[in-house]
């Protein structure tokens, strides 16, 4: 008794401690100052101390009760009952209290009203010892208490199931609980309890038959359905059931009168909230309309593989030997995945992995070609059957859209494209109107794998180009966005691969380089034509340069021996753009396409990489740099440009235009894209001057102006000027004449 | 780390089977009318007689995963219980007990073409006679069979654990097709799709079958066309005496035993020209929806009836090819 009383004090003490948590009090909003906090707390201390005492007295009283006792008002037991009730509802009961109180309740020593009140107060402060429950079950078997109390106890047990500290012995009592099914009143509760307790080893033909007998006697009952579906989950070779679609709750009123009290106590104790076991009856798939059985864009629910046969288990009596596998229906959390990863099986229908992130994780870990093949066949058929622009009068566009969306999300998750999806795109792009499910289709494009097969031009680029040229500017931008993602994905995936397989680098590298080069050239071509079709639209140019921002990183960031300059048809519209964002981006691209570094790299890596950049690339780069520096910096537009498609013009021709200061007109002050900045700058340095004398921006003010531009977010311009201009000025000092690269 | 090494390995992988992307285009330059005689010899007409003269609805089926031939009896019990459970939603059914609908699964050994082909699989549902008299036979209410005749294009490329029986034919209520199909989908992770037959393939069929020799007096060769875009549906039936059709075909065909697209086109053009001469109607502008010959009949919505056991493998070979092209 001594020992137990000390043990009993402990949780209360711990509980008391948690009450000193300041934040907990503040949340309650009862306390304003620290002073009143202290006074309140000490009052509380006293209260709890006295409560603790009276609870102790009550428990020792109930422990010693020998015979049947009648309860009268103001009597001793009444006082103790009140003590138990008030403590339980406020702070919950300590673990040792349960055995004493359950003994009292189920031994029938008191009248049912007392027992009911006691049962209702059995709220755990922390946990319920398994022993107390086992003893209670033995009381249940001797039937000293009334049916009502039995029922209430079972409800209590179901609600408190997750608070029981261990459950091994309870599992061992499975047969005892099962025998209570005979009692029709208890049957629903027993089914629920069995539902919580059932493991695969509990399911056997005898029990199945008993349940089927019950079903035959009582008809369709939701609690029987739930238990039988669980049995089916564990032993599909012995019993099967199809649940009706509409069912939502399988166990009624399972929370009993305790739910509110538990929540209150738990909140006050702030203990770890245990998740109650969720129902996992994966049944009714939401079906909006009635559709053909074989053509539903419903992604199957992930359910355990019911066809789990292995050759070496041929002798097994049962068709399925899932003894060791973990039912997928019970897989809900990532820790579960980690704990059971060795005994997981893929679902019976692979398609269900698409909507299950845990299974997608698992897929990433398992190297089995058959899972990809199953997914390939399923997805291929789904895409073809439901494709809204291939099937005439297919009214399910929204469903198809969301299906494509799901596929795309799974691809992003796995960081790889599905081959069924790739084939689908190749097959249907020539038939696509570019409108139906536009964003979904274009997103899927970005996960087409880079393969060595050479027909990508006729399957992807040709139909895409046709759509590109004949569709709106928004479509053009979206296509470029997708192709940018595609390039990015190729580069990322292969960067990883190069890291891993640096030894066998040369075998795949040429294929990768050719594929990437082909894509970049394709984009260069459609962009050049697209810009002309759309009158050098700033919006389109923005998307094009966005693509080239990745292209210019291919060499330095992704280590690809590949340098591709943007075509003149893009370079010049960007250089002369009316929009500072595009000009800034062009500067950034030219800065990143750092051929000086490339050349150095090439020299030292030459032995390793058998690729050499053509002289023409250097030539074009130099021409672009000269043109840019001439326009933006040295105010020598139209003069120094030596690119065949460039801005060079004869002096004679220029003089006919009668424009003054021609050569200045594209430097960083006069450039149409920069004019806004230079005006604002002038307003800041000479607020009184309204004539906008741009010539003031020179010498020291030119440098201030540069600083001003850099603060305006023109980072591309900054890095370009800082890198290229110094080189140029150095070069001109050396009288080399042009930018040496 | 498994994440990192798992991903890129697959990224460089080709498609999960060997065929190249060339299959995207139709390339049926030449077809054999009947399979090699070696496969025909073993066929016993008695065993497959029940397949003849019934209207079969066609489906294509992707390879079955983890299908075991030795487990047919277990599958039958499970399928039976599944059908019972689906019919009385909400009530559990014990597997293996006697139920209203009896399910039988069996192999049809004779329906194969090449060595790679699997035996066909027959599924039969029969209702137990209510009279409970043990002598009375159960009545077959639905039957369906999976088969592959020269389906090498598919079967040579799939790994272990997959069974290729790409053609599925059913006869009986659609509700049973749906139950059986759903169970197969769930159990073997396969997909079913109705197999429609395009007008092009129907013209192939009529050309192939018109040229075949038949022992007994054959029925007429009939082509049914549907005229599109009319307020009232209008079908035109075009019947030709089988001997005339054969005579026409013999003048068209260059190499006996093999057919080319060009020959089929010429054959059809001749028929169209003849019809136009008499009725001034261009049948080429209408849609061919049904063909029937002494060997078999076929509808564009994927319903066939095979009449002659000698040509059963040949017809199935063609249908297998169509099913495979719908899968890949």
DSSP A239: E
Residue A100 maps to a domain? yes
Range with the largest mean pLDDT of A63-67, A601-605, B225-229: B225-229
Token code pair at residue B92:
């559990």
Query: What string of H, E and C letters represents the secondary structure of chain B?
Result: CHHHHHHHHHHCCCCCCCCCHHHHCCCCCEEECCCCHHHHHCCCHHHHHHHCCCEEEEEEECCEECCCHHHHHHHHHHHHHHHHHHHCCCCCEECCCCCCEEEEEEEECCCECCCCCCCEEEEEEEECCCCCCCCCCCEEEEEEEEEECCCHHHHCCCCCCEECCCEEEEEECHHHHHHHHHHHHHHHCCCEEECCCCHHHHHHHHHHHHCCCCCCCCCCEEEEEEECCCCCCEEEEEEECHHHHHHHHHHHCCCCCEEEHHHHHHHHHHHHHHHHHHHCCCHHHCEEEEEECCCEEEECCCEEEECCHHHHHHHHHHHHHHHHHHHC
pLDDT of residue A268: 74
Q: Quote the CA–CA distance of B75 and A319 in Å, as a whole number.
A: 9
Q: Report ipTM (2 d.p.).
A: 0.85
- Name the residue with tokens 């208890």: A186
Considering the domain architecture, whether residues B60 and B113 belong to the same structural domain is answered as: yes
Query: Which residues from B are below 8 Å from A370, CB to CB?
Result: 65, 159, 161-162
* Cβ distance of A373 and B85 shorter than 8 Å: no
- Round the average pLDDT of chain A to a whole number and report it: 79
Residue of A nearest to B178 (CA): A293
Number of domains within chain B:
2
Q: What is the pLDDT of residues A414-461, one digit of tens each?
A: 998 999 999 999 999 999 988 889 999 999 999 998 875 667 888 899
User: Nearest to residue A115, comparing CAs of A125, A124, A103?
Assistant: A103
Chain B positions touching A429 (Cβ under 8 A) are: none
Domain-located, residue B78: yes
pLDDT higher than 60, residue B26 = no
- Range from A19-28, A235-244, A626-635, B98-107 that averages highest in pLDDT: B98-107
What crossing angle do the helices spanning A438-445 and A419-428 adopt, rounded to 10°?
120
Q: Which residue, among A88, A38, A91, has the nearest Cα to A267 in the 3D structure?
A: A91
Quick one: B246 and B157 in the same domain? no
Domain assignment present for residue B4? The answer is no
**What pLDDT is stored for residue A740 in this prediction?**
35
- Is residue A151 one of the residues assigned to a domain? yes
**B56 shares a domain with B107:** yes
Domain membership flag for residue A157: yes
| Residues forming beta bridges with residue B143, ordered by sequence position | B124, B171
CB-based contacts of B176, cutoff 8 Å, min separation 6: B83, B125, B141, B142
Is there a domain that residue A187 lies in? yes
**In this structure, are B89 and B211 located in the same domain?**
no
CA A707 to each of CA A694, A721, A725: distance values in angstroms, whole numbers, following the listed order: 16, 12, 15
CB contact under 8 A, A294 and B190: no
Q: Are residues B74 and B162 in the same domain?
A: yes
Token duo for residue A257: 């009168």
Q: Where does a domain end: B164, B194, B224?
A: B194
Q: Evaluate whether residue B267 is within a structural domain.
A: yes
Residues of A in contact with B24 (CB under 8 A): 423, 426-427, 459
Asked whether the predicted pLDDT for residue A231 surpasses 50, the reply is yes
Measured distance CA(A270)–CA(A263) in Å, rounded: 10
Q: pLDDT of B191-216, one tens digit each?
A: 999 999 999 999 999 998 888 877 67
| Alpha carbon A222 to its chain's center | 35
Whether residue B181 lies inside any domain: the answer is yes
Is residue B159 domain-resident? yes
Average pLDDT over residues B80-84: 94
Residue where the block lists tokens 């292209």: A551
Residue A310 lies inside a defined structural domain of this protein = no
Residue A661 is assigned to a structural domain of this protein: no
Which tens digit of pLDDT belongs to each residue from B113-170?
A: 888 999 999 999 999 876 655 556 788 999 999 999 999 999 888 888 999 999 999 9
pLDDT band at B48 (very low <50, low <70, confident <90, very high): confident
A489 domain-assigned: no
B25 — contact with chain A (CB < 8 Å)? Answer: no
Instruction: Tell whether B186 and B215 lie within a shared domain.
Output: no
Domain coverage including residue A193: 50-64+73-234
With tokens 């005579």, the residue in question is: B247
**Model confidence at A267: pLDDT above 50:** yes
Distance CA A725, CA A739 (A): 9
The rounded distance, in Å, linking the Cα atoms of A549 and A484 is 9
On whether any CB of chain B is under 8 Å from the CB of A423, the answer is: yes
Domain containing B290 equals 197-300
pTM of the model: 0.80
Residues 6+ apart with CB under 8 A from A282: A301, A302, A303, A329
Residue B258 to residue B265: CA distance in whole angstroms: 14
Per-residue pLDDT band at A609 (split at 50, 70, 90):
low
B57 plus B175 within the same structural domain: yes
Residue A109 has what pLDDT? 82
- Same domain? For B114 and B74 the reply is yes
Nearest to A376 among B16, B20, B182 (CB): B16
Q: B201 and B151, same structural domain?
A: no
The model's confidence at residue B32, banded by pLDDT at 50, 70 and 90, is low
Report d(CA A305, CA A353) in Å as an integer: 13
Percent of chain A at pLDDT above 90? 33
pLDDT per position as a tens digit, A131-173: 999 999 999 888 888 889 999 999 999 988 988 998 899 999 9
Residue length of chain A: 741
Report the range out of A264-278, A502-516, B11-25, B210-224 with the highest average pLDDT: B210-224
Which residue(s) pair with B170 in the sheet?
Answer: B57, B144
- Position B190 scores a pLDDT of 93
Asked if residue B83 and residue B181 are part of one domain, the reply reads yes
Helix, strand, coil shares of chain A, percent, nearest 5, are: 65, 0, 35
| φ, ψ (nearest 5 deg) of residue B237 | -105, 135
User: Nearest 5°: phi and psi at A658?
Assistant: 60, 25
At A90-133, the pLDDT tens digits run: 888 889 889 889 988 888 888 888 888 888 889 998 889 999 99
If contacts are CB pairs under 8 Å, which of residues 78-97 in chain B contact chain A? 78, 81-82, 85-86, 89-96
Could you give the number of structural domains in chain A?
1
Residues 193-252 of A with CB under 8 A from B: 208-209, 211-212, 215, 220, 224-225, 228-229, 231-232, 236-245, 247
Asked if the Cβ–Cβ distance from A294 to B194 is below 8 Å, we say yes
User: What three-state secondary structure class fits A93?
Assistant: strand
Pair B156, B172 in one domain: yes
The answer, for B63 touching chain A at a CB cutoff of 8 Å, is yes
What is the distance between the alpha carbons of residues A123 and A659, in angstroms, rounded to a whole number?
Answer: 92
Beta-carbon pairs below 8 A across chains A and B:
173
Are residues B183 and B236 both part of a single domain?
no
Say which of A365, A367, A453 has its CB closest to residue B20: A453
**Does residue B46 lie within any of the structural domains?**
no
Residue A297's pLDDT is 57
Q: Which residues of B touch A384 (CB under 8 A)?
A: 193, 326
């Amino acid at each position: 008794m001594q020992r137990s009383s000390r043990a009993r004090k402990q949780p209360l003490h711990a509980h008391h401690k948690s009450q000193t948590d300041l934040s907990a009090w503040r949340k309650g909003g009862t306390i304003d100052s620290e002073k009143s906090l202290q006074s309140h707390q000490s009052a509380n201390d006293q209260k709890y101390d006295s409560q603790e005492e009276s609870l102790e007295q009550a428990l020792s009283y109930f422990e010693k009760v020998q015979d049947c006792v009648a309860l009268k008002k103001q009597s001793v037991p009444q006082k103790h009952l009140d003590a138990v009730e008030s403590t339980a509802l406020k702070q919950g009961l300590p673990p040792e209290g349960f055995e004493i109180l359950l003994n009292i309740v189920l031994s029938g020593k008191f009248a049912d009203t007392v027992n009911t009140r006691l049962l209702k107060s059995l709220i755990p402060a922390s946990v319920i010892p398994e022993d107390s429950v086992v003893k209670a079950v033995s009381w249940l078997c001797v039937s000293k208490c009334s049916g009502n109390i039995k029922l209430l106890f079972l409800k209590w047990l179901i609600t408190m199931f997750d608070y029981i500290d261990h459950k091994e012995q309870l599992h061992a009592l499975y047969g005892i609980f099962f025998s209570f099914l005979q009692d029709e009143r208890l049957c629903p509760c027993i089914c629920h309890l069995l539902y919580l307790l059932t493991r695969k080893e509990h399911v056997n033909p005898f029990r199945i038959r008993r349940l089927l007998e019950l079903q035959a006697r009582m008809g369709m009952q939701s609690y029987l359905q739930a238990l039988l579906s669980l049995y089916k989950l564990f032993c599909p070779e012995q019993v099967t059931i199809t649940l009706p679609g509409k069912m939502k709750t399988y166990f009624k009123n399972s929370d009993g009168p305790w739910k509110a009290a538990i929540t209150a106590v738990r909140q006050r104790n702030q203990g770890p909230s245990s998740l109650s076991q969720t129902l996992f009856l994966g049944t009714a798939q939401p079906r909006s309309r009635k559709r053909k059985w074989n053509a539903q864009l419903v992604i199957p629910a992930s359910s355990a593989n019911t066809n789990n046969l292995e050759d070496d288990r041929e002798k097994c009596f049962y068709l399925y030997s899932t003894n060791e596998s973990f039912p997928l229906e019970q897989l809900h959390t990532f820790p579960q995945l980690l704990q059971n990863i060795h005994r997981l099986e893929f679902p019976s229908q692979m398609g269900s992995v698409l909507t299950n992130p845990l299974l997608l994780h698992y897929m990433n870990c398992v190297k089995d070609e058959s899972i990809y093949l199953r997914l390939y066949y399923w997805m291929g058929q789904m895409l073809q059957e439901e494709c809204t622009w291939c099937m005439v009068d297919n009214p399910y566009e929204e469903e198809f859209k969301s299906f494509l969306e799901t596929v795309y999300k799974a691809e992003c998750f796995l960081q790889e494209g599905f081959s069924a999806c790739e084939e689908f795109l190749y097959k249907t792009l020539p038939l696509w109107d570019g409108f139906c499910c536009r964003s979904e289709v274009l997103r899927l494009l970005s996960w087409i794998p880079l393969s060595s097969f050479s027909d990508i031009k006729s399957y992807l680029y040709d139909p895409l180009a046709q759509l590109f040229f004949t569709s709106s500017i928004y479509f053009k931008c979206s296509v470029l966005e997708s192709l940018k993602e595609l390039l990015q994905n190729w580069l990322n995936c292969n960067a990883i691969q190069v890291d891993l397989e640096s030894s066998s680098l040369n075998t795949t590298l040429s294929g990768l380089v050719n594929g990437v080069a082909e894509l970049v050239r394709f984009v260069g071509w459609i962009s050049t034509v697209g810009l002309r079709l759309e009158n050098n639209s700033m919006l389109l140019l923005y998307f094009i340069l966005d693509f080239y921002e990745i292209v210019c990183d291919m060499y330095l960031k992704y280590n690809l021996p590949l340098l591709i300059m943007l075509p003149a048809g893009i370079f010049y519209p960007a250089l002369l753009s009316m929009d500072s964002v595009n000009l800034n981006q062009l500067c950034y691209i030219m800065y990143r396409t750092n051929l000086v570094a490339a050349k150095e790299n090439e020299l030292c890596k030459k032995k390793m990489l058998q690729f050499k950049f053509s002289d023409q690339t250097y030539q074009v780069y130099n021409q672009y740099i000269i043109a840019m520096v001439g326009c933006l910096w040295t105010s020598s537009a139209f003069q120094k440009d030596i690119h065949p498609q460039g801005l060079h013009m004869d002096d004679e021709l220029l003089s006919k235009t009668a424009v003054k200061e021609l050569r200045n007109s594209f430097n960083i002050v006069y450039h149409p894209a920069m004019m806004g900045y230079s005006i604002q700058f002038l307003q800041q340095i000479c607020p009184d001057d309204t004539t906008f004398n741009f010539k003031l921006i020179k010498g020291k003010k030119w440098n201030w102006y540069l600083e001003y531009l850099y603060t305006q977010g023109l980072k591309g311009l900054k890095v370009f000027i800082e890198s290229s201009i110094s080189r140029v000025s150095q070069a001109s000092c050396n009288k080399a004449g042009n930018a040496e690269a | 780390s498994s994440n990192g090494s798992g991903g890129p390995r697959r990224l460089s992988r080709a498609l999960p089977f060997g065929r190249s992307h060339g299959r995207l285009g139709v390339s049926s330059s030449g077809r054999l009318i009947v399979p090699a005689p070696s496969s025909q010899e073993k066929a016993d007409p008695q065993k497959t007689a029940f397949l003849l003269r019934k209207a079969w609805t066609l489906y294509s089926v992707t390879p079955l995963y983890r299908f075991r031939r030795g487990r047919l009896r277990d599958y039958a019990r499970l399928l039976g219980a599944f059908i019972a459970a689906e019919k009385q939603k909400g009530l559990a059914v014990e597997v293996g007990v006697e139920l209203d609908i009896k399910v039988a699964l069996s192999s049809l050994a004779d329906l194969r073409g090449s060595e790679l082909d699997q035996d066909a699989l027959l599924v039969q549902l029969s209702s137990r006679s209510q009279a409970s008299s043990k002598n009375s036979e159960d009545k077959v209410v639905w039957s369906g069979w999976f088969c592959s005749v020269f389906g090498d294009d598919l079967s040579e490329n799939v790994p272990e654990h997959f069974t290729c029986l790409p053609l599925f034919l059913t006869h009986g209520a659609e509700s049973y097709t749906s139950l059986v199909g759903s169970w197969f989908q769930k159990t073997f992770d396969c997909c079913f799709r109705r197999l429609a037959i395009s007008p092009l393939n129907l013209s192939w069929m009529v050309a192939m079958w018109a040229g075949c020799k038949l022992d007994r007096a054959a029925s007429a060769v009939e082509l049914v066309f549907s005229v599109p875009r009319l307020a009232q549906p209008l079908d035109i039936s075009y019947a030709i005496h089988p001997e005339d059709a054969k005579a026409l075909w013999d003048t068209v065909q260059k190499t006996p035993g093999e057919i080319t697209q060009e020959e089929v086109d010429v054959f059809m053009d001749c028929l169209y020209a003849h019809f136009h001469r008499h009725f001034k109607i261009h049948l080429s502008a209408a849609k061919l929806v049904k063909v029937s010959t002494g060997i078999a009949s076929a509808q564009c919505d994927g319903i066939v009836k095979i009449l002659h056991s000698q040509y059963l493998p040949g017809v199935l070979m063609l249908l297998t090819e169509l099913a495979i092209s719908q899968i890949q």
